[in-house]
Structure 1
């Protein structure tokens, strides 16, 4: 076994060095989204009576239970665990699966692992180093959450931190299994992400039909285990054993599989393509490579739109007489009727999430280049601009499609007529200039310095953080204005649409994208 693990320490140090920017950003964003909740909740529900009324209202609303689960305690800590526990667990899970796939299947796909394996590196060392890197990241998230929330009650803070970190480790081992099954890093991430999506759907379905969280569907979901720990609400420490058991079983299976295959191989063979090519050009190839992502995001936006739309009519009931909550929703959605303000706020949230899609889609260019799949294409009579343009058409056009689908879901979920649904779709499409601006930043970074292209994730993450917690924390408008989303009109419900910010943002996006493409033409590939 020592031979099997030879070189683990060196590979772990290499992984931590490569992730020295990405990992701290993920840890910081995830922990801050959780630990900022007590302050924002205290501004909304300042008294025990208001918190008790809010907890009763949330537990009585099936849509809110589907999103966040039931409330087990009306203390600030209990409301924090309700509001941010599942969200933090999802972010930790995404961070973990990205780390594990990046340092296992991605290394094999690019051929770097084969070169490392020619040295004194054991067969199971890469998987061990990847899992240890995920352990470091998840432990950091858990420690920061527990430390910053200790003032709300040390046992509850520790329980919530362990639950969030445990969820990350569960999906780290899910990703480790997926990396053994497929030859593609993209497919491995897709399998792990699908497992995460299924876990969320199971938990949401169980919670929507059960106010006490004891549905069997919740118990089979790792995200449901986060609820069952009941941080700040009479902690159930034994539930943490479920995380440990899942991690152990999945890790053992992953180690068994990795010892039974050659480097670069997998247990699910790649499907051979047709004998004759059926793609009409680089644009068709880009669509073929990214269509699964577009369809997946569209389905997710449709479901989210239906859920948020179903909540819109009950926005007034959720707010009740709490003026501070009303002000937060109006700050997110504009000074209009509360239902329109809620729909505008949800359209803005869909726009913020769409920024993540466009960054991922634009950076597919970087993945194709680093995997050396772009060079054979460009060796033929294919220009760089045509090659990049195909992927950017999918990125920018796909963002419009998923926002339109999300708007359709909002309208249908709200039970609106055709005309009103068209207005909600238009409100979602009004987010496009800001989404395209962030996508154009990704194009510029990739074109100028591909090694810095991942910084685009930080830009999108900062915009998401400002839009998510900025209104609740009463962040100064001068800081909010750093996000392009802060300059968009609040639709639906605005009496008059301000077109100037939309046009300016669109022009800035076009200029940044053009500059990025110009830089791409001048630099060497894989430079």
Structure 2
């Protein structure tokens, strides 16, 4: 098993190093941003008070546990530290189990004395090591920043145990699904669902009288993210919830290894649907093939978009309920109303998240072209009377339609939410403006991924996802990390049109249109001279 472990470490060391460094840098930069932007106790109290009045912030930030520097830092960045650890762990688990099985490597290893379960055990060991190293470095970076040692060690521990929990989820998903794509999709949906469940539990919690702390509602105990936050680093420093993630992940890992030993190689416990005997007429062209390959993912992303839309137009009522039970929250809401509509703010923030979802869907579709090329299946299509420009254009076109479908689903759900709650007429315009704005922003990432595919084919997948991540960090978390305000303009999500106090601010709409047009023309033009690179 240790030989298999070393092989996996040699194969993944650079990728794991990048994940770990990015997470540790987020922890260190988060502390620098907190001290620069919220240097006084009064500043942090004001921010936490505003959080109590704005449910959307609690949905996408951490659990308020006090106004000290450490507790405030935990509120700001702990969900994102745990999410990065979860993504690193799930991708690692699927890559070294179901991914190897798809590629035919697992069958070769199983024919040796290593057997069928040791490769999975080696993947588990590598994941545990990566999460432990990540937790230790996060703790060390926070201690080095001058924060309390116990709270820092606990922050590192919950980061690591959250990763271990999702390592177990990834190993289980690899046993259940027949493809690595299906396993990754399942883990992402579990991650998103548990993140939202934790956010809902925090939103439905009870704020303290001084508006610096929330006692969460029971749904948080259904989520690994909730377990991490209930540890409350730099406040009560409860180690018990931190151990839940460790126990949960290890139990799932043991079950996954047991399932690996009894199922057939190449099969999954979720049965595959039988295909049609004869193809539909609609599958007669290459574009239809792209639709067929990506339709399941598009449907999933559209469901996520609809969920974002309905939440964007229903959470303002929850803010009113919270304010009714706490006069201090009502006072904060009154201040927000003078500066701008809380409903406008909620819709804008939620639809910015929608833009990120739509961009992820578009990138996933365009990088599918690289996967088809690397696996050699693109050659079968291009051997037909299909030019390489037409082939790439089909992926770009389907990705664009996917963005329209996802944003359209969100806008439709938002309209229904407004009608069900007797929403103001002007909010329909807010949904329309920010919906189309984020649709345009997501299209920028479609053409960026296509350009990367043409110019740097072997690095398409990591670079395309890195661009989305950087745009999200600059657009949504730049001020948190103490970055200058002008850096947000590098993010298409941050320069998309919005509505403020009833007025439409077009912001960078023409730059977005120009970027989409130039990117589309450049990628398709350069594709004429590009050779295939089938080896990944």
Give the structure-2-normalised TM-score.
Answer: 0.83
Q: Deviations over 1:366-412 (max 9, x none)?
A: 22333444344444444444443333222122123223333455566
2:520 pairs with 1:510: yes
Mean Cα deviation higher: 132-141 or 144-153: 132-141
- Residue 430 of structure 1 aligns to a residue in which SS? helix
Q: Which one of the candidate residues 477, 496, 514 is aligned to 1:469?
A: 477
Q: Which one of the candidate residues 8, 12, 15 is aligned to 2:8?
A: 12
2:371 pairs with 1:367: yes
User: Do 1:488 and 1:501's aligned partners in 2 also have CA atoms closer than 8 Å?
Assistant: no
Mean Cα deviation higher: 454-463 or 410-419: 410-419
Mean Cα deviation higher: 263-272 or 88-97: 263-272
Paired with 2:513 and 2:391, the residues of 1 have a C-alpha distance of 27
Query: Structure 2 matches for 1:344-423, cutoff 5 A?
Result: 344=348, 346-408=350-412, 416-417=423-424, 420-423=427-430
Paired with 2:185 and 2:120, the residues of 1 have a C-alpha distance of 19
2:135 pairs with 1:142: yes
Q: In structure 2, what is the equivalent of residue 435 of structure 1?
A: 442
Paired with 1:477 and 1:218, the residues of 2 have a C-alpha distance of 34
User: Do 1:7 and 1:121's aligned partners in 2 also have CA atoms closer than 8 Å?
Assistant: no
The runs of 5 or more residues in structure 1 that have no matched partner are 327-334
Q: CA deviation at 1:166?
A: 0.8
Q: CA deviation at 1:294?
A: 1.6
Q: In structure 2, what is the equivalent of residue 302 of structure 1?
A: 306
Q: In structure 1, what is the equivalent of residue 275 of structure 2?
A: 273
Q: In structure 1, what is the equivalent of residue 169 of structure 2?
A: 174
Aligned length: 511
Q: In structure 2, what is the equivalent of residue 88 of structure 1?
A: 81
Q: CA deviation at 1:344?
A: 4.2
Q: Deviations over 1:285-322 (max 9, x none)?
A: 32222222222222223323333445669699989789
2:195 pairs with 1:185: no
Q: CA deviation at 1:263?
A: 3.3
Paired with 2:7 and 2:107, the residues of 1 have a C-alpha distance of 13
- Residue 152 of structure 1 aligns to a residue in which SS? coil
Q: In structure 2, what is the equivalent of residue 38 of structure 1?
A: 31
Paired with 2:485 and 2:55, the residues of 1 have a C-alpha distance of 34
Paired with 2:254 and 2:342, the residues of 1 have a C-alpha distance of 52
- Residue 475 of structure 1 aligns to a residue in which SS? coil
Q: Deviations over 1:244-300 (max 9, x none)?
A: 221221111111111223432333332220111123433223222222222222222
Give the structure-1-normalised TM-score.
Answer: 0.84
Q: In structure 1, what is the equivalent of residue 210 of structure 2?
A: none
User: Do 1:96 and 1:168's aligned partners in 2 also have CA atoms closer than 8 Å?
Assistant: yes
Mean Cα deviation higher: 367-376 or 479-488: 479-488
Q: In structure 1, what is the equivalent of residue 211 of structure 2?
A: none
Paired with 1:235 and 1:297, the residues of 2 have a C-alpha distance of 37
Query: Structure 2 matches for 1:102-117, cutoff 5 A?
Result: 102-117=95-110
Mean Cα deviation higher: 349-358 or 246-255: 349-358
2:151 pairs with 1:156: yes
- Residue 103 of structure 1 aligns to a residue in which SS? helix
Paired with 2:147 and 2:329, the residues of 1 have a C-alpha distance of 25
Paired with 2:59 and 2:494, the residues of 1 have a C-alpha distance of 28
CA 1:269/1:352 → structure 2, altered by over 3 Å: closer, same or farther?
closer
Paired with 2:511 and 2:300, the residues of 1 have a C-alpha distance of 31
Paired with 2:84 and 2:505, the residues of 1 have a C-alpha distance of 37
Q: In structure 1, what is the equivalent of residue 209 of structure 2?
A: none
Q: In structure 1, what is the equivalent of residue 464 of structure 2?
A: 456
Query: Structure 2 matches for 1:191-340, cutoff 5 A?
Result: 191-211=186-206, 213=215, 215-278=217-280, 279-310=283-314, 340=344
User: Do 1:124 and 1:258's aligned partners in 2 also have CA atoms closer than 8 Å?
Assistant: yes
CA 1:59/1:484 → structure 2, altered by over 3 Å: closer, same or farther?
closer
Q: In structure 2, what is the equivalent of residue 331 of structure 1?
A: none
Q: In structure 2, what is the equivalent of residue 500 of structure 1?
A: 510
The runs of 5 or more residues in structure 2 that have no matched partner are 207-213
